[in-house]
């Protein structure tokens, strides 16, 4: 279920389908595959990178993004908010809430911003890309075959908190993201895997190498 995914870093992914390329939060993209569909979760620079969007977009690229981001992008752009279900380039997508609930993080991803994660149907499976979020109550109701969850802490859930969400969702596979580059350490993936048991965890190797210096979480 992960063989068609490329992880660039943070929350940046490419899914290469049969005749369609779907990017999520492209940042430091290391491929030149043109985007058919492009999904942006929120306005922070490690998720909304105009330079990377311009690198991968083509004439017919269809983009979905929260309203504050959509206003900054030209072309075929659909503003979305939590709860929206839509189809983009033949891909079925549902936008779900993404916000902080921990007191020390409330101002980083406020619920009022209506930033999002996405449940995406790709091929025969559903994939949940959480964006930047804490374990908000309504996220326990998310159902997907694969869940990409941020684990780095500081701005999002830490590994143990993310493991709790993984167990609530109970996907076939949970994949850690948003660690090892800006905050968090590569070893946080091991903590996540241990704490998420019995949920099966798989880690991807980013195309951008992890920094050699350890990061504080």
The pLDDT value recorded for residue 143 is 98
- 176 and 201 in contact (C-beta within 8 Å)? yes
Structure token digits, residue 7: 């992880």
Domains of the chain by residue range: 5-196
pTM over cut 0.95: yes
Say if CB 4 and CB 201 are below 8 A apart: no
Find the mean pLDDT for residues 124-143: 97
**β-pair type (57-66, 21-24):** unpaired
| DSSP 8-state class, residue 140 | G
SS3 for 94? strand
Mean pLDDT to the nearest integer, 19-45: 97
Where do we find the tokens 């105009």? 50
Q: Does pLDDT of 178 surpass 60?
A: yes
Once rounded to an integer, what is the mean pLDDT over residues 11-31? 97
Query: Among all chains, which residue has been given the structure tokens 């167990």?
Result: 167
For residue 214, is pLDDT > 60? no
Strand, helix or coil for residue 35 = strand
**How much of the chain exceeds pLDDT 70, in percent?**
98
List, for residues 150-163, the tens digit of each pLDDT value. Answer: 999 999 999 999 99
pLDDT at 52: 98
Contact 98, 115 (CB under 8 A): yes
Is the pLDDT at 217 greater than 90, yes or no? no
**Cα–Cα distance measured from residue 121 to residue 143, given in angstroms and rounded to the nearest whole number:** 12
| Residue-averaged pLDDT of the chain | 96
Confidence band, pLDDT 50/70/90 cuts, at residue 215: low
For residue 148, what are its two tokens?
């990409």
Whether the Cβ atoms of residue 188 and residue 182 lie closer than 8 Å to each other: no
The token pair that represents 81 in the structure block? 């908010």
Q: Is a pLDDT exceeding 80 seen at residue 93?
A: yes
Residues in the chain: 217
5-196 under CATH 3.60.15.10, yes or no: yes
User: What is the structure's pLDDT at 213?
Assistant: 61
Burial environment of residue 69 by CB neighbours within 10 A (0 to 12, 13 to 18, 19 or more): buried
Average pLDDT, integer, range 136-161: 97
Residue 184: per-residue pLDDT? 93
**Cβ–Cβ < 8 Å for 160, 176:** no
């Amino acid at each position: 279920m992960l063989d068609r995914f490329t992880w660039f870093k943070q929350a940046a992914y490419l899914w290469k389908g049969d005749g369609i390329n779907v990017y999520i939060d492209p940042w430091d993209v290391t491929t030149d595959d043109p985007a058919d569909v492009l999904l942006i979760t929120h306005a922070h620079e490690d998720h909304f990178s105009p330079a990377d969007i311009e690198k991968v977009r083509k004439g017919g690229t269809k983009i979905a993004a929260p309203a504050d981001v959509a206003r900054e992008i030209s072309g075929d752009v659909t503003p979305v908010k939590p709860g929206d279900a839509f189809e983009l380039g033949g891909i079925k997508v549902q936008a779900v809430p993404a916000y902080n609930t921990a007191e020390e993080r409330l101002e980083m991803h406020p619920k009022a911003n209506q930033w999002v994660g996405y449940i995406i149907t790709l091929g025969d499976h559903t994939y949940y890309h959480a964006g930047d979020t804490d374990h908000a109550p309504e996220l326990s109701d998310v159902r997907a075959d694969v869940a990409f969850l941020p684990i780095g802490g500081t701005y999002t859930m830490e590994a143990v908190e993310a493991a709790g969400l993984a167990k609530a969702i109970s996907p076939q596979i949970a994949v850690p993201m948003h660690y090892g580059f800006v905050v968090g350490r590569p070893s946080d993936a091991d903590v996540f895997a241990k704490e998420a048991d019995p949920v099966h965890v798989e880690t991807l190797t980013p195309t951008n190498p992890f920094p050699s210096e350890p990061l504080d979480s």
